[in-house]
Amino acid sequence: MLNKFYTEMKSSLEAAYQQKPRAAIRVTIQLASTFVEAYRADKNVVWTSFYSFPMELLAAFDVTPFDFEIAANLLPTFSADAAVEIMNRAEEVGYSTDICSYHRLAAGCDMLGYMPRADLLLSSSYFCDGKAKTNKTLADRCGKEAITLDIPNKISRESVDYVAGQLRRIAGRIESISGQKLDLERLRECIRVSNRARRAYEQLADLQKVSPFPYIGVPVINMSIFGNMLAGKEIQEQIYLEIVEESRKKIMEGRLTPEKYRVLWLAWFPVQPTVIRQIFRKNGVTIVMGELARNYGGRMDESLPFESLALWCLKNPYVGTIEQRLKGINEIIDEYNLDGVVHFSTDACRHSCAAQKLIGDVMKERNIPYLVLDGDMSDKRKYSPERTEMLLENFIGIMAGRK
């Protein structure tokens, strides 16, 4: 079913791209193509976490990456009801509804046989406990090895060495499932390519400071989640440069949508259809940044490939104490001339939501309107359009009162 879904999605996106060649469509085509490829019998398929695993390491091999969370959780975009039916299957065998819908949906898809074959299953410890746990269960079900890339909570010589050591071992495991030796020079090249893409992304991040915002906020957030799938590949830089070009063109031609309020979006953006975009459009609200949609990792040193990739993981805003996350949030506020901050509080995402009130206190000190918007990424049963509308309208009212 997922295979068919992504095959059809790929064709329709390709047709759309023919009509309107846009970079945002191209990145989604890449996503769909990668998922379709994962179903091919002649491919070595490595399940992983696109947004938290250093994908440059996989790019150094001829393997097909697959992310069970993202693959399963694009379904609600098209049918929230079908997604609920699949989640029901997982709940019937004991998956509690207190578990993140991302994983209930993935577990349901797996039970129904929708997932592709896995040759190796990788996850990281920091996004999130649930992902690493689901990875282990799914690995058990298909009789393959699950590896958790364990990311400590602090940056030190020891923690970098520890993560780098794990990455070396993971490279060894990929060698054994693919029969391909790691070519260190190729890995270094992947890191160089990734650095270039990051520089391109920084250009976009700079353009996002322009008011009115020249691009669309949600794709920017999404790209920070699944765009990392392409890290280490030339196409990532090309796509980012195309977005920069499209944005510059819009600015030059004066084709910018009028903007009244600029907000920073914290945590994730729901994949199921919601009223959020519609309300924002109606009220001239633009999401100008997401907290992960920045080059928080800086430039990587290709001469120390494993250590550099380790450091990229360790610098993630969700690793470490809340200071690491708050530092990023405060920097965005300083740089992006914002009117407000929205924290999307998806049910069961404990690590992103736990300190949302603490972030609120910091926002209060900074005199920035702050909204905790509760809902759910994928589970329609935990989302109320009325409540979302009410919370957003109130929040927009607060921002308006300060203009």
Partner 1 sequence: MSDSKAKMGYFCSLVPTEIIAAAGYEPVWVKGKAEMTAAADARMYPNMCPYIKSLFTDAAEAGGSAFDGLVFARSCDGVRRLYDVWQAYIPSKFTYMLEVPKNADDLAVTYFAAQLRDFASQMGKASGREVTVPTLRKAIKDANAARSKMRELYNRQSASPLPMAGSELFMQGLAILHGDGAKGITATRKKPVAEGAAAGSRKKTRVMVCGNVMSRPDIFQMIEGSGADVPVADVCTGLRFFERIVDEKGDDPFLSLAEAYLGVPRCSRTAAPAETYARIRDNVNRYDVNGVVLTALKFCDQQLYDIPYLLKKLNDDGIPVLFVENDYVFKDKDRIRTRVEAFVEMLES
94 binds partner 1 (CB under 8 A): yes
Q: Judged by CB under 6 A, does residue 124 bind ligand SF4?
A: no
Q: Are 343 and 356 in contact (CB under 8 A)?
A: yes
* DSSP code, position 291: T
Q: How far is the CB of 47 from partner 1 (least distance, A)?
A: 15
Q: Which does 102 bind (CB under 5 to 8 A by kind): ligand SF4, partner 1, none?
A: ligand SF4
* Contact call for residue 128 and ligand SF4 (CB under 6 A): yes
352 binds ligand SF4 (CB under 6 A): yes
Q: Which segment (130-138, 173-181, 246-254, 363-371) binds partner 1 by CB under 8 A?
A: 130-138
Contact window for partner 1 (CB under 8 A) among 62-70, 287-295, 345-353, 388-396: 345-353
Angle between helix axes 2-19 and 23-37 (nearest 10 degrees) is: 150
Site for ligand SF4 in 329-348 (CB under 6 A): 346, 348
Token pair of 288, please? 């100008």
Q: Say how far apart CA 102 and CA 213 lie, in whole Å.
A: 30
Element (H, E) at 11: helix 2-19
| N-to-C CA span, the chain | 49
- Establish if 130 lies at the interface with ligand SF4 (CB under 6 A): yes
Give the length of the chain. Answer: 403
**Following DSSP, what letter does each residue of 113-133 receive, concatenated?**
T-SPP-SEEEEESSS-HHHHH
Residue 374 C-beta: closest distance to partner 1, Å: 10
Distance of CA 61 to the CA centre of its chain: 22
- Choice between 201 and 269, CB closer to ligand SF4: 269
Site for partner 1 contains 289 (CB under 8 A): no
C-alpha–C-alpha distance, residues 48 and 52, integer Å: 9
Q: Are 262 and 336 in contact (CB under 8 A)?
A: yes
The answer to whether 52 contacts ligand SF4 (rule: CB under 6 A) is no
Backbone angles phi, psi at 198, to 5 degrees: -65, -40
- Are 163 and 314 spatial neighbours (Cβ–Cβ below 8 Å)? yes
Q: Are 43 and 37 in contact (CB under 8 A)?
A: yes
Q: In angstroms, rounded to a whole number, what is the distance separating the alpha carbons of residues 21 and 32?
A: 16
Positions 149 through 168 that interact with partner 1 (CB under 8 A): 150, 152-154, 158-159, 161-162, 165-166
Spatial contact of 197 and 190, defined as CB atoms under 8 Å apart: no
Q: Which does 132 bind (CB under 5 to 8 A by kind): ligand SF4, partner 1, none?
A: partner 1
The nearer residue to partner 1, 90 or 276, going by C-beta atoms, is 90
Identity of the residue, 159 or 346, whose beta carbon is nearer to ligand SF4 in the bound complex: 346
Eight-class DSSP state of 376: -
* Part of the chain binding partner 1 (CB under 8 A), chosen from 206-214, 291-299, 352-360, 388-396: 352-360
Judged by CB under 6 A, does residue 319 bind ligand SF4?
Answer: no
Residues that bind partner 1 (CB under 8 A): 90, 93-96, 98-100, 103, 107, 125, 128-130, 132-134, 136-137, 139-140, 146, 148, 150, 152-154, 158-159, 161-162, 165-166, 169, 321-322, 345, 347-348, 350-351, 353-358, 361
Residues that bind ligand SF4 (CB under 6 A): 69, 100, 102, 127-128, 130-131, 268, 346, 348-349, 352, 377
